[in-house]
Copies of this chain bind each other. A is one copy, B any other.
Amino acid sequence: MAYELYYWDGIPGRGEFVRLALEYARADYVDVARMNGGTEQLLALMKGENANVVPFAPPFLKDGEILVSHVANILLYLGSRLGLAPESEIERLTANGLQLTITDFVAEVHDCHHPIGTSLYYEEQKDEAKRRSETFVAERLPKFLGYFEKVLAHNPKSDHAVGSSFSYIDLSLFHLVEGLRYAFPQAMEGDGARYQRLIALHDRVSQLPTISAYLGSERRLAFNQSGIFRHYPELDVLNRP
């Protein structure tokens, strides 16, 4: 039976981290909200109408009777099934910890354009967004990217994020770089020199056959002004010495 991915239609958003894992493995899956009537199915599940589990928010994944919510939890579940998890328990815990750091980082990226409230429009919090983005670009962005660079440097086994083989963390780091380059092109300029291992990993992932085919397909949604990674030139402040 096909995996069912539930995520808002029209944006890559948090769902993209899951899509990349499914696409990498050529898994049989349905992107439910992009089908006719799919958004209604998504909303019904959020009301707890069709499962014992009530998810708080998309994305969530259905695998038969099993419903799994939150990106990191979905990737933990899919990782071993799609050949994208490290083999040992210790390395799986390490991978999960890294995905949770990515989760935190993504929330901070989102809050650059929504520092006051998700229910308000960007235009209602532009001043605060500018102030938040200044500290983000000056401090948080280099802190997180420097951290992932260090994680890659620290792995004695390979040039992947965890252990000796490719995992869903490598895919997530790829997407993180993609999103940041879209949202903060000025701040990310020259990233290849500052974060050599991370950008090299990004480049290798983009050339993997299944990922390269996916990126060129209609299934890959473009970044836009409604997702996590948004490009507002006024928030993309330079951060170079």
Contacts and interface: CB of A to CB of B under 8 A. Distances in A.
Interface of A: 48, 52-57, 65-66, 68-70, 72-73, 76-77, 90, 93-94, 96-97, 100-101, 103-104, 107, 111, 115-117, 119-120, 128, 131-132, 135-136, 139-140, 144, 147, 150-151, 154-156
A84 to B, nearest CB: 17
A104 B107 contact: yes
Given A52-B154, A54-B150, A97 B116 contact: no
Q: What does DSSP make chain A's interface, helix, strand, loop or mixed?
A: helix
Contacts of A139: 117, 119
Given A52-B154, A56-B144, A119-B139, 6 more contacts: A52-B156, A54-B154, A76-B96, A115-B116, A116-B128, A116-B131
A90 to B, nearest CB: 6
Contacts of A69: 97, 100-101
A155 B97 CA distance: 28
Given A119-B139, A135-B119, A66 B90 contact: yes
A135 B117 contact: yes
Most buried by B among A76, A90, A101: A90
Contacts of A90: 65-66
A228 B119 CA distance: 23
Contacts of A144: 56
